[in-house]
């Protein structure tokens, strides 16, 4: 914005300056020519008075020579063509003008190549003498180049001052807008405490206040949703716990086992629903997480449970894998969701392999198990295996897609399900 304002003012000011400078330059040139022409006329008139009063030609010649040394060159052309005061021959155009002055018997100025002549006819006893005062082209343009240079520098100074003022004004307008944009980016990145300081023009200050009000409103909604989600989890877990306790009172072992299985299924479904609900208020900050580090930490977290279930939980990591466009919390939740599905829906002795590898776009996370697998292709939420809601895989898909990646399901080398998550690397900028 600042640059555009400066260019606009520069263009406008330049147009105004040119509109005034060009006529002014012509005026200066005309004034200089008029000044030189006036001097030539005055010189010719002065010599004409001496020519009319002095009868001694030698005295007149010396007088004309002295006046030529002080001002424009001047000469007297006698009727017979003799020159007084100037030993050089006259230009043919000047001689033609002399003949015209004798014929018309009136004073005038005549332009010629190399300068200008002022001619004054004088009647004497021997006929009509013609006084010729000459100024060169350099004399006609005396002082013009320096005046033009001064005018041009003043015009450039005016344009420069205008651009400087426009730049300052543009910064006063654009800096508050840029600061508001920075606050908006911080809010987008999850900094709930970011607030704008209203400033600048009234419109920009109003924009900052509106952004602050929007941030406060969003923060209030997020807090209310978090409280609702927490309350939902507590309310659902209490009756489920009561149902689990009631299953212990059932005398028929087969019915008791079936009820416990249904309660476990309900508990997993509630956990999935609560986790999914919390995802709606999670931050979308993508500061970049090292996949190998996070995966190794999550494998270490799940390993005690794997040992209790006689599972072999292995991890193969590639430390050269770049940081991916997910926060550490989101990446950990993605891996926990996949591993939770494995532990919940595969036999306790089924082995699990978690891998991290480098790819052209970023990194690849794989989780393979030796369980019974699932029907492929996966058709979205509600479609899974062993009575699951499929919500866990839906969470995994959404996390990966929000980061710009994707999820592929297939058969693992262990015989069960293979979950491949492709994640792009964090932009270096």
Place of tokens 């543009």: 170
| Tens-digit pLDDT string for the chain (429 aa) | 677 777 778 888 888 888 888 888 889 889 998 998 998 899 888 888 888 888 788 888 888 888 888 878 888 888 888 888 766 778 888 888 888 988 888 899 988 888 898 999 998 878 898 988 888 888 888 888 998 899 889 888 988 888 888 888 777 777 788 888 888 888 877 777 888 888 877 888 898 899 889 888 888 887 787 777 767 766 777 787 788 788 888 888 888 888 887 787 777 777 766 666 665 444 444 467 889 999 999 999 999 989 988 889 999 988 888 999 888 888 888 898 899 888 888 888 899 999 999 988 889 999 999 888 776 655 454 445 444 445 677 888 888 888 888 998 888 888 889 999 999 988 765
Provide CB contacts within 8 A for 158, sequence distance 6+: 13, 17
Are the C-beta atoms of residues 77 and 129 closer than 8 Å to each other? yes
Q: What is the pTM of this model?
A: 0.46
Instruction: Output the pLDDT for position 60.
Output: 83
Q: Which CATH topology does 2-144 take?
A: Beta-Lactamase (3.30.450)
pLDDT at 419: 92
- The per-residue pLDDT for 278 is 60
Neighbours of 263 (CB within 10 A): 18
d(CA 303, CA 359): 27
- 377-385: Cβ within 8 A, 24+ apart: 377/409, 378/409, 384/341, 384/345, 385/345, 385/417
Q: Does domain 291-424 have CATH number 3.40.50.150?
A: no
Structure tokens at 352: 């699990």
Please tell me the distance from the alpha carbon of residue 266 to that of residue 244, in angstroms, as a whole number: 10
Angle in degrees, CA 230, 233, 326, rounded to 5: 65
Characterize 85-113 residue by residue with b for buried, 16 or more Cβ atoms within 10 angstroms of its Cβ, and e for exposed: bbeeebbeebeebbeebbeeeebebbeee
Alpha-helix runs per DSSP H in 280-404: 291-308, 328-345, 391-402
Instruction: Say what the pLDDT of residue 284 is.
Output: 44
- Distance, in Å, from the CA atom of 182 to the CA atom of 409, rounded to the nearest integer, reads 40
User: For helices 202-247 and 253-279, what crossing angle results, to 10°?
Assistant: 170
The domains of the chain are located at: 2-144, 202-281, 291-424
pLDDT score recorded for residue 368? 92
Q: How far apart are CA 361 and CA 355, in angstroms?
A: 17
């Amino acid at each position: 914005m600042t640059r555009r304002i400066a260019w606009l003012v520069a263009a406008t000011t330049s147009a105004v300056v040119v509109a005034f400078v060009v006529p002014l330059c012509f005026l200066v040139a005309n004034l200089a020519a008029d000044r030189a022409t006036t001097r030539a006329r005055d010189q010719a008139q002065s010599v004409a008075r001496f020519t009319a009063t002095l009868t001694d030609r030698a005295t007149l010649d010396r007088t004309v020579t002295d006046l030529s040394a002080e001002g424009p060159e001047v000469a007297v052309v006698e009727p017979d063509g003799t020159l007084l005061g100037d030993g050089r021959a006259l230009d043919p155009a000047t001689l033609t003008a002399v003949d015209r002055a004798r014929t018309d018997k009136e004073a005038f100025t005549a332009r010629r190549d190399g300068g200008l002549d002022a001619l004054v006819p004088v009647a004497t006893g021997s006929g009509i003498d013609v006084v010729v005062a000459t100024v060169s082209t350099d004399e006609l343009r005396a002082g013009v180049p320096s005046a033009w240079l001064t005018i041009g520098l003043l015009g450039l100074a005016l344009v420069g001052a205008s651009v400087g003022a426009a730049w300052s004004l543009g910064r006063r307008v654009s800096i508050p807008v840029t600061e508001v944009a920075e606050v908006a980016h911080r809010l987008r990145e999850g900094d709930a405490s970011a607030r704008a300081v209203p400033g600048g023009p009234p419109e920009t200050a109003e924009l900052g206040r509106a952004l602050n009000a929007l941030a406060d409103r969003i923060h209030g909604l997020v807090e209310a949703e978090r409280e609702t989600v927490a309350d939902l989890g507590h309310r659902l877990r209490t009756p489920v716990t009561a149902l689990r306790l009631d299953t212990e009172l059932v005398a028929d072992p087969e019915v008791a086992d079936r009820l416990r299985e249904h309660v476990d299924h309900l508990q997993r479904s509630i956990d999935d629903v609560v986790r999914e609900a919390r995802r709606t208020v999670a931050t979308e900050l993508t500061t970049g997480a090292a996949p190998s580090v996070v995966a190794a930490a999550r494998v270490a977290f799940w390993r005690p449970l794997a040992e209790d279930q006689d599972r072999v939980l292995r991890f193969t990591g590639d430390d050269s894998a770049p940081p991916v466009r997910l926060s550490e919390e989101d990446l950990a939740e993605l891996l926990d969701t996949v591993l939770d599905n494995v532990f919940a829906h595969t036999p306790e002795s089924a082995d699990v392999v978690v891998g991290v590898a480098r790819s052209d776009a970023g990194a690849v996370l794989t989780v393979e198990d030796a369980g019974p697998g699932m029907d492929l292709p996966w058709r979205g939420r509600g479609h899974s295996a062993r009575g699951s809601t499929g919500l866990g895989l839906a969470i995994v898909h959404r996390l990966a897609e929000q980061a710009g990646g994707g999820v592929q399901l297939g058969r693992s080398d262990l015989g069960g399900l293979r979950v491949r998550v492709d994640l792009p690397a964090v932009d270096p900028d």
